[in-house]
Amino acid sequence: MAIRYPMTGMPQMVALLNGFGGAASTLVAGAELWNATATAREAASPLPAWTQFAIATALTGLIGAVTFWGSLVAFGKLEELPQFKKAWTDPNRHWINLGLGLGTLLLLWGVCANPSSNLLYWALVIVGSVLGCTLTMPIGGADMPVVICLLNSYSGLAAAAAGFVIDNSVLVIAGSLVGA
């Protein structure tokens, strides 16, 4: 991929790679939640609420989804794709983002309180995905490198949280270094 992109296209490529890191973290957390839920069903006992696993899974899903979709929007703006040329200037966008933010907080609480519900996790991922798009769309192309730096940090935080989900200290450390 790096061979095909010219040096002037590196910000787009970095945005894409950040996004894939966020998506990978989200999918890892979703797979672990699915596995833990299936194991708990076989044992006929629900997953305990408010554990490190539940909190890390919820945060990984949210941060990874915001990172992935925000990075795709940043990529589209820098690549000057026709769908992303104009900034999103809806006068109600702040209220929309506020509603999405409150929705993510409620779903975060729901996933942490009831980690046996895969439906709540994927609802959190969907709302986080929309939030990632709506937070990035109003920003103009000239400010995209700053957004990409922020999304790079988010991908590190998602990786660190995924490290907590799968209990991998190397991933926690590497994600923390990227997120710092």
Instruction: Give yes or no for residue 13 having a pLDDT over 70.
Output: yes
Angle CA 25–30–36, to nearest 5:
125
What pLDDT band is residue 165 in, cutting at 50, 70 and 90? Answer: very high
The pair of three-digit structure tokens given for residue 106, joined into one six-digit string: 């409620």
- Model confidence over 45-102: pLDDT tens digits? 877 887 889 999 999 999 999 999 999 999 999 888 888 877 788 899 999 999 999 9
C-alpha closest to that of 53 among 162, 171, 179, 132: 162
| Top-confidence residue, 4 or 127 | 127
Number of H helices, E strands in the chain: 6, 0
* pTM of the predicted protein model: 0.91
The amino acid at residue 91 is P
At 2 the pLDDT is 63
